[in-house]
Amino acid sequence: MKIAVFRTGGKQYLVEEGDQIEIEKVKDSDGKLTFNEVLLYADEEKFLLGRPLVKNVIIEADLVKEKKNKTLIIKYRPKTRYRKKSGHKKISWVIKITKIQAN
């Protein structure tokens, strides 16, 4: 069992091979993603902790779907029947981790 912690979009994610996670949209892609900012890697034989990053570890993932989250800004004033939605819907990706590779 291989596990890793990687960083993308200002957040850190703990993943195994086969996991599906939701991340912020990073860049336009053709469906294949690679992450090389790995902070921790562990398997049955070795444990690598980066200071700050682990070298020669790559995480590969496939894009499953792209979705929009709910509206971010909602104004509300109690007892006056005032509610107002504005803002934008943030785009996020659901990805599936296919391979965690350590060289």
Q: Give per-residue pLDDT as tens, 39-53.
A: 999 999 999 999 999
**Whole-model pTM above 0.85?**
no
Q: Are 69 and 89 in contact (CB under 8 A)?
A: yes
Distance, in Å, from the CA atom of 56 to the CA atom of 77, rounded to the nearest integer, reads: 53
Element (H, E) at 90: strand 82-102
In a domain, 27, yes or no: yes
In a domain, 73, yes or no: no
Give pLDDT, residue 43. 94
Q: Which domain holds residue 8?
A: 3-66+93-102
In a domain, 59, yes or no: yes
Q: What is the pLDDT of residues 70-84, one digit of tens each?
A: 887 889 999 999 999
Give pLDDT, residue 66. 93
Distance, in Å, from the CA atom of 52 to the CA atom of 30, rounded to the nearest integer, reads: 29
Number of domains in the chain: 1
Residues in the chain with pLDDT < 70?
A: none
In a domain, 44, yes or no: yes
The tokens for 99 are 């391979």
> Going by C-beta distance under 8 Å and a sequence separation of 6 or more, which residues neighbour residue 74?
83, 84, 85, 87
